[in-house]
Amino acid sequence: MSEGSTQRRIVVTGVGMMTALGVGREASWDALLAGENGIGPVTLCETSDLEARIAGEVTGFDPLDFIDRKEARRMDRFVQLSIAATRDALDQSNLDISSAADEIGAMIGSGMGGLTWLEDQFQVLFEKGPGRISPFLVPAFIPDMAAGQVSIQFGARGPNYNT
């Protein structure tokens, strides 16, 4: 960046990882260095009607290690994983968000989210009718909810985006 530039710098101060290799940056990194790939049989959904039955799932993840039980019940797994990865990154960074909350935001890449909730709520719709669908369905389903919940959970008031 040249002197007098109006561009602002972005600083990465911590890394958070919830991957098929492990829960947390250390477990993921250690597994990567050991040559593991994290690919295995699908366990999170029924695959009997599918041709593909292997995936890179995040196994051993307990959202209650990172999120209050009541809040976790209102979130789809992709949001829970986003919050957990953010907590992992913040723990490494030692960043005090409150000191610059308006300057700190969240950007998360997610093309689709909330499929678990969507599937569950379709089942509720078919079995119990529309009156029993959770009021949290739409907030659990939209992809930008991950960045929004990360911002809410950690008090970041800067820009938040889903890409």
CA distance 131 to 109: 33
CA distance 162 to 41: 29
Residue 118 belongs to what H/E stretch?
A: helix 115-128
How many C-beta neighbours within 10 Å does residue 116 have?
15
User: What does pTM read for this prediction?
Assistant: 0.87
Kindly give the pairing relationship between strand 18-19 and strand 40-41.
Answer: unpaired
Residue 14 belongs to what H/E stretch?
A: none
Provide the residue-wise pLDDT of the chain in tens; the chain has 163 residues.
Answer: 556 667 777 777 789 999 999 999 999 999 999 999 999 999 988 899 999 999 999 999 999 999 999 999 889 999 999 999 999 999 999 888 998 999 998 988 888 888 888 889 999 999 999 999 999 888 888 888 999 999 999 999 999 998 8
Counting every residue written for the chain, the total comes to 163
Domain ranges of the chain: 18-162
Cα angle for residues 135, 42, 83 (degrees, 5° grid): 45
Instruction: Using alpha carbons, select from 103, 96, 102, 110 the residue that is nearest to residue 140.
Output: 110
Question: What's the CATH code, domain 18-162?
Answer: 3.40.47.10
Residue 106 belongs to what H/E stretch?
A: strand 106-108
